[in-house]
Amino acid sequence: MTPSYLQGDLAPVPDEIDVHDLTVEGLLPAELSGRYFRNGPNPLPGQDPGHWFAGPGMIHGVRLRDGRAEWYRNRWTRTTQFTGDARFLGPDGIDLTAISANTSVVRHSDRLFALVENGLPYEITPELGTVGACDFGGRLTTAMTAHPKEDPRTGELLFFGYGFFPPYLTYHRLSAGGELVESREIEVPGPTMMHDFAITENHVVWLDLPVVFDLEMTDHGIPYRWDDAYGARLGVMGRADGKTRWFDVDPCYVFHVGNAHEDALGRIVLDAIRYTPGSFQSVWERVGSGVDEVPGPGAAGNPERGATLHRWTLDARNGLAKEERLDDRAVEFPTISGARTGLSSRYLYTVTEKAIVKYDTETGANDVRETGGATGEAVFVPAEGERAEDDGWLMAVVTSKGDSALWVLDAGTLESVATVRLPRRVPTGFHGSWFADA
């Protein structure tokens, strides 16, 4: 039986294409001049990577300029895993270039990087060509998370790498100019799948949660499993001194963080998408199985099978972590305005089954925009001279009945602005990014 991650909306496409002058319905704002990229796994024809999270990374790109959609193209990122040309070994003997680079794309200091959490970043061109693995002049000797955070105040890029062997967790900081200026080991009990983290003005927030690496599972897809004995805690590290204070929390897992900030009392407030042990196990089994349904974090609208928006308030004065669920709806892929990263933010955008959900974290209200199809991460794009935090647009790939389109919505109202018809189906994948022209 063909696994679910090779069927339907998840089925890979067999080749790379270029198509120009795409059909646009509605009016694209002229100031939307740049490139939308969406990364995700796309196994080669005949390949079965054993899990939805595995498989070579393919980036789908759309070029917008002057109210037109100039081109669509898709390219595999040519990692050494893809080419069979392994050449870089980390301190534990693992080849940090033989990776999939299938999770996200970021830009820092005018360089574009395709990322996955178990290896080095791969630099790519604006036309989706592969430049090659980047270790920042030999200074990066660990993997790099697929979710680095750019500090909007300083322009620095903060990130981490986790390892299967010690050091299990290492913090890194790139200057605004792209130089690796700090690397610091963070002591944790063992190797876990730390997919994301958060920053605030003065702190880094770590997610030390009970999904652990298991070497015996290497031949069975992604080598991680839930471990009740590991425990669950959040760490608050001072960015200045590197000291970490840990807060025990109820057993859970977090793939993706919305945002974090320091409130008026100096507490750390973290909003993220929280899985219970049961909902994590349900999703994990589906994304790596042959079950005939569309899998993925939050793919189903049932919170018992997905994950919900959750808030932790970490108070250093008493060492306590307050936890609260902000909504019962199963959601994933939270996004915010990048200008609010690490700062107080009001609006949070997520996706659920065939819909985009916008949360007002000040009032507790939420708005829902039905899409009628499989909906990718909604990327916020600020308007020029934005007058409010939600003054801008949302971009997301929506697939329905085998056809894909890039939706552009008004972020304030969730009303449609324009739709770019794509020349092929874009498989359900991971993270999207918008890179405005300089």
Find the DSSP H helices in 140-200.
none
Question: Is a pLDDT exceeding 70 seen at residue 328?
Answer: yes
What is the chain's Cα-based Rg? 20
The CA-atom distances, in angstroms, between 365 and each of 41, 309, 326, 361, 382 are 34, 13, 10, 7, 22
Predicted pLDDT at 284 = 83
Predicted pLDDT at 306 = 79
CA dist., res. 41 & res. 82, Å (int): 12
Question: Is a pLDDT exceeding 50 seen at residue 420?
Answer: yes
What average pLDDT does range 232-240 have in this prediction?
98
Q: Which two tokens stand for residue 164?
A: 């299967």
Q: pLDDT band at 286, cuts 50/70/90?
A: confident
Predicted pLDDT at 301 = 44
Question: Is a pLDDT exceeding 60 seen at residue 243?
Answer: yes
Predicted pLDDT at 282 = 87
Predicted pLDDT at 294 = 38
Find the DSSP H helices in 96-166.
none
Q: Which two tokens stand for residue 344?
A: 């107080």
Please state whether beta strands 233-238 and 244-248 pair in parallel, antiparallel, or not at all (unpaired).
Answer: antiparallel
Q: Which two tokens stand for residue 227?
A: 């471990």
Q: How far is CA 363 from its chain centroid?
A: 26
What average pLDDT does range 12-21 have in this prediction?
98
CB 151 within 8 A of CB 342: yes
What average pLDDT does range 113-117 have in this prediction?
98
Question: Is a pLDDT exceeding 50 seen at residue 297?
Answer: no
Q: Where do the domains of the chain lie?
A: 4-436
| DSSP 8-state symbol, 95 | B
Predicted pLDDT at 92 = 64
CB 380 within 8 A of CB 338: yes
Predicted pLDDT at 75 = 98
What average pLDDT does range 96-120 have in this prediction?
96
Question: Is a pLDDT exceeding 80 seen at residue 113?
Answer: yes
Listing DSSP states for 20-42 in one string gives ES--EEE---TT--EEEEEEEE-
Mean pLDDT of the chain: 93
What average pLDDT does range 396-404 have in this prediction?
97
* Three-state DSSP class for residue 80: helix
Query: Hey, which CATH number is domain 4-436, 1.10.10.10, 3.50.50.60, 2.120.10.30, 3.30.1300.10?
Result: 2.120.10.30
Q: pLDDT band at 303, cuts 50/70/90?
A: very low
State percent of the chain over pLDDT 90: 86
Burial 185-210 (b: 16+ CB within 10 A, else e): ebebeebbbbbbbbbbeebbbbbbbb
Question: Is a pLDDT exceeding 90 seen at residue 386?
Answer: no
Predicted pLDDT at 293 = 41
What average pLDDT does range 157-169 have in this prediction?
96
Q: pLDDT band at 402, cuts 50/70/90?
A: very high
